[in-house]
Amino acid sequence: MAISENKSPLLLVRFCTAIRFLTIIPLSWRAAEDVRQFDKCLVFFPLVGAIIGLVGYGVTNVLLLFFPVQVVAVLAIVYLAFISGFLHLDGLSDSADGLFSSRPREECLHIMKDSRAGAMGVVVVVCVLLVKYSTLSSMEGHMLCLAIFFMPLAGRSAILLSMARLPYARPEGGLGRLFYSDSSKTAAVFAFLALFLFLVILAPALLVVTLIAIACVNLLFGRWCRLRLGGATGDTLGASCELTEAVTALAFTASFSFF
């Protein structure tokens, strides 16, 4: 009984830590700020992604009662970006500036630390947002709601997959390094098992094409990061989330011609 009582608050602290990092929800619980919990909260990443998606699913359903699909698609994209404090879009922008710079590894990492957005970063962010809008706005209402549920779940799962596959690239450490641990692979397996089960239950016809699309993007982007940077950084993990959200929406659209 004592063991259960000790574990329950600790699990709640780790869950709160994941929420604090992945969303803008202002939890004030001091224990959630404990740095020691960062690398232990990974298993809750897919749960937080599912919660973000569930809220988006409900809000999107309501908005569709009043607005056309095109307007709801824009509002849904704003929601997905805003709920994370635009953290992952910032990572996508910084990653694009560094990876497209054609500079040596050390200079690429230095460019990515610059808070200013370069031309490459702006172009890539616009392209990714256009992919999200064009795909979501082309869906019927029910499919749009499902896509909004799966996009954040898939994106947070992709972060874990990138962490499991790639070493951390910055020798001096960084924000992303706080989450690296021996449990990264276990958390990644759990995340994709959860994603698999949700797809089987809610969208079985989209299972294969969605998982293949997510795997291809993660493998290709991860290989690029390994070759150019020597591994992952906090920025590339955020970029992986954004790219996965976009390809998930794209997969939901592309699958219409197959099923």
Digit-coded pLDDT (tens) for 123-180? 999 999 999 999 999 999 999 999 999 999 999 999 999 888 888 877 665 555 556 6
At 207, the pLDDT band (50, 70, 90 cuts) reads very high
Residue 230: the pLDDT is 86
At 257, the pLDDT band (50, 70, 90 cuts) reads very low
Q: Is 225 left (phi over 0), alpha (psi -120 to 50) or beta?
A: alpha
* Gap between the Cα atoms of 241 and 22, Å rounded: 11
Residue 45 vs residue 13, higher pLDDT: 45
Half-sphere exposure (Cβ direction) of 50: Cα atoms closer than 13 Å: 16
And the tokens for 33?
């700020």
Judged against a pLDDT cut of 60, whether residue 22 lies above it is answered with: yes
Judged against a pLDDT cut of 90, whether residue 41 lies above it is answered with: no
Q: At 179, which amino acid appears?
A: F
H helices within 83-140, ranges in order? 87-99, 105-113, 119-137
pLDDT per residue as tens digits for the range 46-96? 999 999 999 999 999 999 999 999 999 999 999 999 999 999 999 999 999
* Gap between the Cα atoms of 17 and 36, Å rounded: 10
Residue 12 vs residue 195, higher pLDDT: 195
Residue 3: the pLDDT is 42
Would you say 180 and 39 are in contact if contact means Cβ atoms under 8 Å apart?
Answer: yes
Residue 131: the pLDDT is 96
